[in-house]
Amino acid sequence: MFRVTADTLQAYLDFDPERKHDLAGLHKLIVQAAPALKRFFHRGTPAGEAGMRMKMIGYGKFRYAIKSGKTTEWPVIGVALQKNYISVYVAVTRQGAPIVPRYAGKLGELRMGGNNFSFERFDELKPNAMSLLFAEVADIFTSDPENPVRYMQGS
């Protein structure tokens, strides 16, 4: 598994100098499309607790209950460096279904998962479709802050 050893937002941004431009371009697009979702450094879920351990850049925060009964913080939109690409994770749904697949083939993505997509270079993405996705995510979260909680808790 690819591990980013950063412990701050700036260290994360500087971790891979060749992809810093890609992260900066994506950040600018997210901020323009979804200004209400503030950027932060997500340290990953601590060992021994349910959740993803990977560090990432987060946009917007919410808390949800994990199986132990504890709560954990998670980003509404998460951006993670992988070995050969960058992944974008989305934690909201539209009409009870993951939102990202509605944009399949429109984002310029390399691959798409349940509610995430990956790309190699920011320049390969389609900014108009990306802006629509991020704006829709922010609108859903703003109007229904429990939406990602229901998604992450599987209800």
Kindly report the average pLDDT of the chain as a whole number.
91
* pLDDT band, very low/low/confident/very high, at 128 (cuts 50, 70, 90): very high
71-81 and 116-119: which strand pairing?
unpaired
- Among 65, 62, 66, which residue's Cα sits nearest to residue 78? 62
Q: What is the pLDDT of residue 18?
A: 94
Q: 68-122 pLDDT, tens per residue?
A: 777 888 999 999 999 999 999 999 999 999 999 999 999 999 999 999 999 999 9
Q: What's the first-to-final CA gap in the chain, in angstroms?
A: 29
User: Is 155's pLDDT higher than 60?
Assistant: no
Q: 2-47 pLDDT, tens per residue?
A: 788 889 999 999 999 999 999 999 999 999 999 999 999 998 876 6
Sequence spans of domains, the chain: 9-152
| Cα gap 18→141, rounded to integer Å | 32
* pLDDT band, very low/low/confident/very high, at 1 (cuts 50, 70, 90): low
Q: What is the pLDDT of residue 24?
A: 95
The single residue listed with the structure tokens 């993951």 is 98
35 class by beta-carbon count within 10 Å (0-12 exposed, 13-18 middle, 19+ buried): exposed
Alpha carbon of 84 to those of 2, 12, 79: distances in Å? 9, 16, 14
SS (H, E, C) 99-131: CHHHHCCCCCCCEECCCEEEECCHHHCCHHHHH
Q: What is the pLDDT of residue 44?
A: 81
Q: What is the pLDDT of residue 88?
A: 98
